[in-house]
Amino acid sequence: MNTATDSGLEEGFDEPLEREDAGGAPVAPEWAVFGDLMAGLLGAFVLILVAALALQLAMAERLEAEVQQRRAEAQRSGALAQALAVPLAEGRVTLSGGRIGISSSLLFAFNSAELQPEGRALLKNLAGTLQAYLQASDEVLMVSGYTDDRGVRGGSEKFADNWELSAQRALTVTRTLIEAGVPSASVFAAAFGAEQPVASNSDAAGRALNRRVEIAPMPRAKAAPAAPSAAPTTASAPAR
């Protein structure tokens, strides 16, 4: 019974899984093409996901580094403000962005790079505080001289221009701090002349603010690793 039907089923199961096109070349079944397509899409998705995760991880690490840096800067600024509490309260110095500001009128006479007695006494008092701060941090001090935009005019000393005046004032402060105990390897001088004003030079009050000396802690430069020395070579005597 049902011999014809069973025979038809057997013939159906005997058909090959691969089909041939009109030219007799084998044609892959549809499910195989679909599977290859899905595998390619899955691989592309995995690559995109890995790249996105790597980018997110790098951004998180960079953000964490910036947070740590700002936190360290805030701690150093707080420590410096605490160390300078007395001169800050007396109004003899200012502290902004970690930079100690001293008015040139407190340190020097007009157009002069010679310290006045009050300025020398202030620097000697600051030296101990700065030395203690440097011992607790891996930093150096940059002493910067600034002037207003008026040209150098008559005075007890003659300078070619504001660059020379600001440089000599910065050197004078630097040498005084070293004489008072600040290690010479932890302090250096810089001159800015009339550049980087903090107020307008259009009036006397603004020009007075621009004539200043600043002392700013800065990270100590890391020494470059020494290059490996080449092994000594010995010249052999020529063969005879």
Ordered DSSP codes for 139-157: EEEEEEEE--SSPP-SSSS
Do 196 and 157 reside in the same domain of the chain?
A: yes
- Identify the weakest region by mean pLDDT among 133-142, 172-181, 210-219: 133-142
Q: Which domain holds residue 52?
A: 36-83
pLDDT of residue 102: 95
Contacts of 183 (CB under 8 A, 6+ apart): 131, 134
pLDDT tens, 34-50?
777 788 888 888 889 88
Burial-class residue 131 by CB neighbours within 10 Å (0-12, 13-18, 19+). middle
- Identify the weakest region by mean pLDDT among 84-88, 107-111, 233-237: 233-237
Instruction: Kindly state the average pLDDT of the residues 207-218.
Output: 94
Q: Indicate whether 157 belongs to any domain.
A: yes
Q: Indicate whether 111 belongs to any domain.
A: yes
Do 108 and 164 reside in the same domain of the chain?
A: yes
Residue-wise burial string across 65-81, b where 16 or more C-beta atoms lie within 10 A, e elsewhere: eeeeeeeeeeebbeebe
pLDDT tens, 216-228?
999 888 766 666 6
Q: Indicate whether 170 belongs to any domain.
A: yes
Contacts of 188 (CB under 8 A, 6+ apart): 140, 141, 142, 143, 174
Q: Indicate whether 27 belongs to any domain.
A: no
Q: How confident is the model at residue 212 (pLDDT cuts 50, 70, 90)?
A: very high
In CATH, what number is assigned to the domain containing residue 107?
Answer: 3.30.1330.60
Ramachandran bin of 23, using left for φ above 0, alpha for ψ from -120 to 50, beta for the remaining angles: alpha
Do 41 and 157 reside in the same domain of the chain?
A: no
* CA-wise closest residue to 104 among 96, 95, 88, 93: 93
Does residue 90 register a pLDDT over 90? no
Q: Indicate whether 199 belongs to any domain.
A: yes
